[in-house]
Structure formats: C-alpha cells, structure tokens
Structure 1
Amino acid sequence: MPSPAAVDPLSGYCAVTRTFHSLRAPIPLPPPSPPLSFPAFAFSLLPSPLPAHAAFLDAATGEAVPFPAFLGQVRALATALRAHLHISRGDVAFVLAPPSLHIPVLYFALMAVGAVVSPANPALTAGELAHLAALSKPSVAFAVSSAAGKLPPGLSAVLLDSPRFSSFLHGPGDALVMDAAVMHQSDPAAILYSSGTTGSAKAVVLTHRNLMATRVLPGPAPPGEVLMLTVPLFHVYGFVFCLRPVMAAQTLVLHTAGRFDTRGVLAAVGRFRVTRLALAPPALLAIVRAAEDDESVAASAATLQVVLCGGASLSPELVRRFSHKFPHVFVSQGYGLTETTAGFCRSTGVEESRRIGSVGRLSPGAEAKIIDPATGHALPPGLPGELWVRGPFVMQGYLGDKESTSGILDSEGWLRTGDVCVIDKDGFLSVVDRLKEIIKYKGYQNWRTCFKRTQVSTKPQLLDTPTIRLANCRWHLS
C-alpha cells in the first residue's frame, strides 16, 4: 500500500503504482498464518450469550431457527459427519438441493470438519452434473430425493429430506469436534462452478480466508435488521449471502419457493419485517411491473430500506422506475465474480446509490487496475480498459487446471476479470463491455454471442424482453 499522500482521496488512484485502492475502512481479519476455519471465525464474532432471535427463517412456512438452535444443529451435524459418514479434512461434498433451512447448517458443518462444500444447480441434467463432479471429484453427495437420481453412479449420497439426515441434526453434538481438525485459512472451503472468461465450466476453489474476507463492516447493526435472500444458494451470490449474516448475528429469511413470486416475496417482506432484500435484476423488474400495475404492492414493503442487486447489469431506467414506486428504498448494486468470492465493488448508502449506472466503489481491501488491452499499460481515472483486481477475496485457482488459472491470475495476485470497465474521478466503477461476450441464461449456462452491447442497448424499449435482456447482460456476480 503506498503512502496516503500518494493516493487520491476521491478516486483512490495512485499515480506512482497506477493502481486504484479502496478508500473504505478496512475489515479486521485475523493474521493469515494461525490455523482457523471459516465457521470458527464466524462463530467467534457472535456475542455471548447468543442472541435469541432467529438466525434463519423459511419465508414459505415461517419456521425459524434461533441462533442457539442453529449452532446446536451445526455441532450435531458436524459430529455425525465425522462419526457416521467418516468425512474429514479435504473431502469434497457435492450438494444438490433447493434452498431450505438445512442448507446453511450443512454448509457450516461441512466446513467445520474440514470438508469442501461444492453446491450445484439441481436443475442441471445428469450429464451436466457428471461433468461438474468430474471437475471437483466429490467423495460424498447431499441431495434431495427429487434430484438424487441425477447424481453420478457410484457417488455415495445422503438424502436431505430423509429421517436419517434429520436424526443427524438432532443428535448429540460435540463442541470439540469442530476443533479436532487443524485447518489452515488457505485450505479450500468451497468449490463453486464458473464459466470463467471462456464459457467452459471450471471449478473455482475458494479458501476459508476468502470467506472470512466477505465479513460485513464491524459495528452494531441497525435494530431489527433482517435480510431476505431470493437467489439460489449454489450460486456465489446466494452462497456468500447465506453465510455472511451469521458473522453479524443478523436474521436471514430464505426464499424457499421454487419460483420467484412477486406478491409472495413482498408479502414475506411485510410479514417478517425485512429491511434488506437481495435479488437479481429480473426479480427487480418483476417487482417494478407489479407495483406499476397495482399501487397497493408498494405498501406491503413498508419496512424495506435497501434492495441489494447483483447477478446482471441493471439498466438506469429500471432503477428510476423502481425508485418512483418505492421512494423510501434505495438500490445498492454490486459487482464481482465467482473467482472473487462474489462482490468486491458495491454502492453503500443513499448517496452512492444515486450514481445510477455505476456498481459503486471498491470494497475494503480491494485494489484495481484498468489495463489497456492493446498496450498492457495501466490507465488513470476516466479511461476504459480491462479491469484487474487483487485482494483477500481472490480465489485460490481453478481446481486441476493450471493453464486456465495462470491465464486469469498472475504471480502477483492480480485477477483479470475480462470486463471492460472505467473508474471515474470519484472512484465509482462502471462496467462498459466484455472483452469476450458471453450470454449466461439465469447465470448458469452460457453461449458465445456476436451481439455487441451497444447494438442491443440502443433500443431500450426492447430490454424488458427476455431474449434481448439476456443478450445485453454480463452476470456481475457469476
């Protein structure tokens, strides 16, 4: 880090190193060398005694898991994983299930015993899942009955909707079992799947320290802070957001319905007094349309203060339409990739959210460069180029693919995003284009396209149609 005098106080740009630096307060992280798992770190941040309010809520059923019960279930499941399934450090666990209250417990318990969590989309075909499993090489799978038939032959599976798994959650828990394995912060904690910048599936290795770096800024949360998550928990966006509230002792409401139902989601917002709603742009568009058709829709979201939006580019017109119908709510946009453990750039607060068209400023600990693709030189504020980023959130690499890893991640820790971006004089980042355009349908499958962003975006009246909207978007948290 250069001296503060060398860093511009508005943009964060250092002319000496030609690097942009985050100007946000740093997030306290432990020294990187002591052994420590992400669950142990997360639980160490909880107050004592544990808060009595819900850690997780099911939006469909209203079932709640208070923090004491959540920690009890994690310990019980971790004990069962060791004693009954003989899962140990380094084992990869394939997870194939829709959102439910079991999933956060499973994620924490697996990581607590040193296993590597590898969630996949349960809507994929058996062939697609076999390809992912060939990348991550799981030794065990956790799946719901409706999806278990698509698992690769020979892969041992535990059914999440079985009496056996339920008994694991409510069995005796040994608080010491999570300390039995010595885990380093650099150990793999999760393997998520990404298209990278080429379109072919890759297994992204995220470490325990990567997940620690997603911690929210320290300090007391506003009274009654409740987050609702409406994105899949196998996607990096949902994966990180189902872990992070635990570190802040906040309540997370899980949208467990199979499809995004606008009125159902807004009803849950009112019922559980949700203050922050995390969703993707297509869901925001559905909410705007519903509010435009029925004035009573906005009234059901009276407690809502912030909409957190990531996963795809968000048109300025959509933000304006939303703000017109929900003037008391601001939209916080974020930007990141699976390879960066979700977002490393976001808008925070009302003032930053007013910079429509920007995805905000660099998050704590982030460094960025804007590189001219033609010359390889780093550029100053106001000029577009490929965004390179560095920080504690950058992945360890692509599992079993050194060539692809070296193609995106250099020896100094800089990750090439493949996105053409610009950072202005005030430090706000905007995504301009892709070096190699890829369409990702719902963020999961992708096709190369010859569409140019400028060709599609010149017809804003077409952006609400599914086909054109997808052609115009780069999934920011993919």
Structure 2
Amino acid sequence: MVVRSPYPDVEIPEVSLYDFLFSGFGDRGGATAFVDGISGASLTFDQLEDMVDKIAAGLAERGIAAGDVVGLFAPNTPYYAAVFHGVLRANAVVTSANSLYTPGELAHQLTDSGAKLLVTVSAFLDRATAAAEQAGLPPEAVITLDPVEGHTSLIDLISTTAEPPAQTVGATDIAVLPYSSGTTGRAKGVILTHRNLVANLVQFGALTGVNTESKILAVLPFFHIYGMTVMMNNGIHKRATVVTMPRFDLTDFLRVIAEHKVTYVYIAPPIAVALAKHPVVDQYDLSSIEIIFSGAAPLDAELGRAVAKRLGTRVRQGYGMTELSPVSHSMREEDDDADLNSVGVALPNIECKLVDPESGEEVGPGGRGELWVKGPNVMSGYLNNPEATAITLDADGYLHTGDVATVTDDGVFTIVDRVKELIKYKGYQVPPAELEALLLTNDRIADAAVIGVRDAEGEEVPKAFVVRQANADDLSEDEVMSFVAERIAPHKKVRVVEFISEIPKSSSGKILRKDLRARETATG
C-alpha cells in the first residue's frame, strides 16, 4: 500500500542551490544571517553573499572548475556557510567531512571523492595535512579558514579582485558528497544534486514555522546533512538568523540560547537527556524557545515529554537519512496531541511503502515493514559504488531505508526496529563492518563481529565479540578497546568486548548478527 503525504505537493524550482538561496535578500540584506554564539562574529545576508562570490572567484583562480570536489573539514562557524556556498558558486562540489575523523578516515574520503582541495581550521591542521598527504594532495591544497603561516587562508581567497566564474551548474548537477554508511558497510559518498537539496528545503519548509523573526541554534554539525539542510541552508532559505556553536558544551549551549533568545533548537536525543535531567538547566532563561526538534536517532516519548514540561516548550521529532537529503518525515509543529514516539507524516511530494523484509509483501496500517521512500529528495546513488546503489535504490525509485516502521490510518509513521546493521551512537553512524575489518588487523585476534547493544543510559553502543588467536589467551577487553580507540574517530569506539570461541556465520560466510543479538538477550 502506497502512503502519500497528507500535504499537497509543492513546486520544486529547477535551479541550482545557489540560485535558489541567493536570489535577492530584499530588506533582510542588512539582517544577521549567521552569528557565532561563542565569539559573536557575524555575517549579514549581504556580507554572506559578497563573501560567497569572492570565495568562488578565489577558488577559480586556484584552478577549481565545474565538477571539481572540495573537502570541507571544519567546525560550525559563519564562515563554514560562506565556504560551502562559495564552492557551489564556483560550480564545484562540496564533500563535507566529519570533524572527528582521524587522518586515515579523512584520507579515504578525500581519495574516494577525488577532492582537489581541503578547507580546514588551524585546530584540525595536523589531521588535515596528514590526510591530504595520504590522499596524494600537495601541501598547497590545504586551505585554512583562520590565518596559518604557510597556508592559503580565507582572507587570501576573498582578497581577490577577480569576478566569480559564470554559473554553469543546473538542478541535476551534483552539489554535495556527504559520506554515509547507508544500510551497511564502510562510509560511501552520497550523491546529492542541487535539486535534491532545493527539494528538501521546500518540502521541509512547508511544515516548519521558521521565519525572518526566528533564531536557529546550530550546535549539530554542518558537515552532517541534518545540520547542513535543516539549520544552515534552511536558515538562509527562511531568511532567519542562525546561531552557530563549534561543539556541544552544556553550559555554553544554555548560555547561548539565553543570550541570543534562540527560538528553534535542533538536537539529537543525547542533548535531550541533559535538558531533562541536569540541574544547571534551571540557571538559564530558556523561555525564548518555541520548538525543540529532535532528529538523527529515535527520541523516547517519555524523555521528550520531560523536556517539554521542564522548559515549557514544544518537542517534536522527525526522520531522515543522508540519502534523503535528509528529511522524509516530520511531526507537525502545531499538533500538540501528536504521539511523540512517532516521526510524524511524510513531507510533501513523498510517497512511502512498508514492505515485509522476509516475504517482500507490502503491509498496511497495523503491520510492520521496512520503510521505502520515494520523492525528489532521494539521492542519485552512491559514488563509485553501483552495487550498493542497486541494493538501496530500486527500479521504481524507492529508497530502501533499512528501518522498520508502522503507520496509522492517518499516515503517521513510527520507527520500531532496524533491518540494517548500522549502529547509531548519539546520532552518529557506526558501521560494524568497518570496526570488524579494523579488529582483524590485530594479529592477536582470530575473528570478530560487532553489533549494537544498549548501555545503562539506553544509548546504542558498539559491542565487539572477539575470538582470540591460539597464542593470545592474555588479550584483555581493555587492550581490544584501546587498539580500536587509537585508530578511529571517538564516536566509533568499541565500548563493550566479549570473548567467544567462534563467530556464528552462515554457510556463505556471512556473520549471523541475529544469533549474536539473541545471545545478548539471553545473557543480558
């Protein structure tokens, strides 16, 4: 059964993202577009547009042409938005990198995406230069947002007197290559076109109350598609003010909300835990908040209600994936009677199916099935990976999300389980296959498998089942965890280890994760 959005379709302009967002700011030109919540540095809409054009010209002078890829490896600042759109204005493509990445992880993304330049900050420079070297990029290919001796900086880029290049990209050209693990495996480049991003802004914009009077807090990273679309680009689209933070610190988070009178706060569930329980919250005036919107991982309804009651505001949540640009479902802001366990209804222009993973049969209200999504926000595919694309995107244009959902007669969806192997730790993707491959590089480990388990706070964390080599009986849990932690981003760390005699596998050699989960249930 096909379930369509209860909202009428919206018109999707057939233009580039730059043309869509920078089509004239009118009386908002002098208003603040972005402000750094910590330092106070800010850009008006007119200043942002001027900087974007200058960056585009500076990049063109350095050889960046249509279709070239530029890596962006930096925390949230107003200048992140300027560089992001400067790259697009230069007819090039942004590949946004996780700011927690190790040099090896970043080098993989730079190599796989074919990036020609990498833009970073001085605090990340050691990792950035090491990654660039591993990816075969020359030292001059690393550009910094802040001045660093020996590197081209943002000031150098915008000092050009040249004009930006003529715009040659259109709606169907690639705009960004964020990296996602999809339903399984190592991170893959997600091909999102200008039309994908424009479509999702128009779709999500039809449900949100963000307007020119709104102040959006952007503490979730712009490198993640959630921050990129819902905070950074939606702020420009709605001509609202976006207040940036480089990282989450609870005291700074609360202070910034109070000082800047933030009205829209976008979070992931771990922040909700702090808002519900930490005593320091009561020391700040958070009365300006109109909406707290949670995404990136499921929000428990009881937790959401606790936050809403404590802060005297509305809490809502939605659903999405990088491959969906990212939002496909959202609760209605105005619906105070909505089931907070749900992710709401499909956005305009979207149709969905629930399909039984075993039988392949479509299921209706009351049934459980894998959520399939079709719409103008669905990715083109995975970069250089036709096999993964074929698994995820079918011939009819439906993206198979890997998440199991239910739907009511009114078209309200609830995510109830997961088909895919991906672990979600604090909203970040952790692909088991990547951890397993890393564990097997340890010569004291004979075999390994990784699944997600719940910790004492209900957070999903990676657990490794490890088979020791015959001569490694003294290999400890701490040694295994340290081995992984030294080689991978912090959010991917193995946090629980269990030694077993054999990893259960199918006749074809595939790890039987369901057997490991059953073992965990039986012993837990």
Verify: 1:193 aligned to 2:179, yes or no: yes
Q: Is the Cα contact below 8 Å between 1:38 and 1:112 reproduced in 2?
A: no
The equivalent residue for 1:103 is 80
Q: Distance in 1 between matches of 2:97 and 2:181?
A: 13
State the one-letter code of the partner of 1:251: T
Give the letter for the 2:118 counterpart: A
CA offsets 1:333-355 (integer angstroms, 9 cap, x no match): 01011111111101122416731
CA offset digits 1:1-34 (Å, max 9, x no partner): xxxxxxxxxxxxxxxxx2111112433322x4xx
Question: Aligned ranges for residues 180-219 of structure 1 at < 5 Å?
Answer: 180-215=166-201, 216-217=205-206
Q: Are 1:266 and 2:254 counterparts?
A: yes
Deviations 1:222-262 (A, max 9, x none): 56211111111111111212112111111111112x4x222
Say if 2:374 and 2:397, in contact at 8 Å, map to a contact too.
yes
Mark the CA change 1:348 to 1:406 in structure 2 (over 3 Å): closer, same or farther: same
Q: Does 1:224 align with 2:213?
A: yes
Offset of 1:221 from its aligned partner?
A: 5.2
Contact 1:276 1:306 in 2 (8 A): yes
Q: Which amino acid aligns with 1:270?
A: A
Looking at structure 2, the residues matched to 233 and 294 of structure 1 have their Cα atoms a distance apart, in angstroms, of 27
Structure 2 residue corresponding to 1:369, chosen from 353, 359, 364: 353
The code of the aligned residue for 1:436 comes to K
SS at match of 1:213: helix
Give how far 1:50 is off.
4.0
Letter in 1 for 2:11: P
Question: Could you tell me which residue of structure 1 aligns to residue 145 of structure 2?
Answer: 160
Equivalent residue in structure 2 for 1:119, among 96, 99, 122? 96
1:238 paired with 2:227, answer yes
Separation (CA, whole Å) in 2 of partners of 1:357 and 1:218: 19
Query: Any conservation in 2 of the 1:333–1:353 contact (CA below 8 Å)?
Result: no
CA distance 1:221–1:323, change in 2 (3 Å): closer
1:311: which partner in 2? 296
Compute the TM-score of the two structures, normalised by the length of structure 1: 0.85
Q: CA deviation at 1:63?
A: 1.8
In structure 2, what is the Cα distance between the partners aligned to 1:411 and 1:383? 24
- Name the SS of the counterpart of 2:221 in structure 1: coil
TM-score (norm 2): 0.78
Q: Residues 157-177 of structure 1, C-alpha deviation per residue, up to 9 Å, x if partnerless?
A: 112212742132354473xx3
- What runs of 5+ residues in structure 2 fail to find an aligned partner? 434-448, 464-490, 496-524
Q: In structure 2, what is the Cα distance between the partners aligned to 1:234 and 1:72?
A: 22
Deviation for aligned residue 1:451: 6.2
Give how far 1:317 is off: 1.8
Aligned to 2:403: 419
- State percent identity of aligned pairs: 30
Q: Per-residue deviation at 1:437?
A: 3.5
Match of 1:356 in 2: 340
Alignment of 1:402-441 (within 5 A): 402-441=386-425
SS in 2 for 1:149: helix
- Cα distance between partner residues in 1 of 2:132 and 2:384: 19
Aligned counterparts of 1:121 and 1:413: Cα–Cα separation in 2: 28
| 8 Å contact from structure 2 (residues 118, 132) kept in 1 | no
Amino acid at match of 1:201: A
Alignment counterpart, residue 319 of structure 2, candidates 331, 335, 356: 335
More deviation in 46-55 or 339-348? 46-55
SS in 2 for 1:432: strand
Residue in 1 that maps onto 2:37: 59
Q: 1:89 aligns with which of 43, 47, 66?
A: 66
Equivalent pair of 2:425/2:461 in contact (CA under 8 Å): no
User: Is contact 2:181–2:422 with CA below 8 Å preserved after alignment?
Assistant: no
- Structure 1 residue 89, shift from structure 2 partner: 0.7
Provide the residue aligned with 2:520 in structure 1: none
Residue 9 of structure 2 corresponds to residue 19 of structure 1: no
2:469 alignment partner in structure 1: none
Aligned counterparts, 1:164-183, within 5 A: 164-169=153-158, 171-172=160-161, 174=163, 177=164, 180-183=166-169
Deviation at 1:100, TM superposition (A): 1.4
1:288 equivalent in alignment to 2:276? yes
Give how far 1:464 is off: 4.8
CA distance in 1, matches of 2:65, 2:212: 39
| 1:76 and 2:54 aligned | yes
Counterpart secondary structure, 2:258: helix
**Partner Cα distance (2:185, 2:425) in 1:** 12
1:319/1:356 contact within 8 Å kept: yes
**Structure 1 Cα separation of the partners of residues 397 and 432 of structure 2:** 29
> Which residue identity is paired with 1:70?
L
Give me the whole-angstrom Cα distance separating, in 1, the residues matched to 2:416 and 2:367.
Answer: 11
Partner of 1:128: 105
Query: Whole-Å Cα distance in 2 between the matches of residues 232 and 114 of structure 1?
Result: 24
Compute the displacement of 1:49 (Å): 4.1
C-alpha distance in structure 2 between counterparts of 1:428 and 1:264, whole Å: 36
Distance 2:342 2:6 in 1: 17
For residue 48 of structure 1, the aligned residue among 22, 26, 30 is 26
Instruction: Confirm or deny: 8 A CA contact 2:423 2:460 kept in the other structure.
Output: no
Q: d(CA) in 1 for partners of 2:168 and 2:345?
A: 36
CA 1:125–1:224 in structure 2 vs 1: closer, same or farther (change >3 Å)? same
- Structure 1: tracts of 5 or more residues without a match: 1-17, 472-478
- AA aligned to 1:408 is T
Counterpart for residue 8 of structure 1 = none
Whether 1:400 and 2:384 are equivalent positions in the alignment is yes
1:114 to 1:352, Cα distance in 2 relative to 1, 3 A = farther
The whole-number CA distance in structure 1 between the counterparts of 2:209 and 2:2 is 32
Contact 1:94 1:117 in 2 (8 A): yes
Task: Determine the C-alpha separation between the residues in 2 that align with 1:92 and 1:427.
Answer: 40
Please list the CA deviations of residues 26-74 of structure 1 after superposition, one character each: whole Å capped at 9, or x if unmatched: 33322x4xxx321111112x44244321000100011221111111111
Given that 1:78 and 1:173 are in contact with CA atoms closer than 8 Å, whether structure 2 keeps it comes out as no
Match of 2:329 among 341, 345, 353: 345
Distance 1:438 1:353, change over 3 A: farther
Q: Between Structure 1 and Structure 2, whose CA radius of gyration is higher?
A: 2
Alignment pair present for 1:252 and 2:242: yes
Give the root-mean-square deviation of aligned CA atoms: 2.5
Q: Which amino acid aligns with 1:151?
A: A
- Please give the secondary structure, in 1, of the residue aligned with 2:112: helix
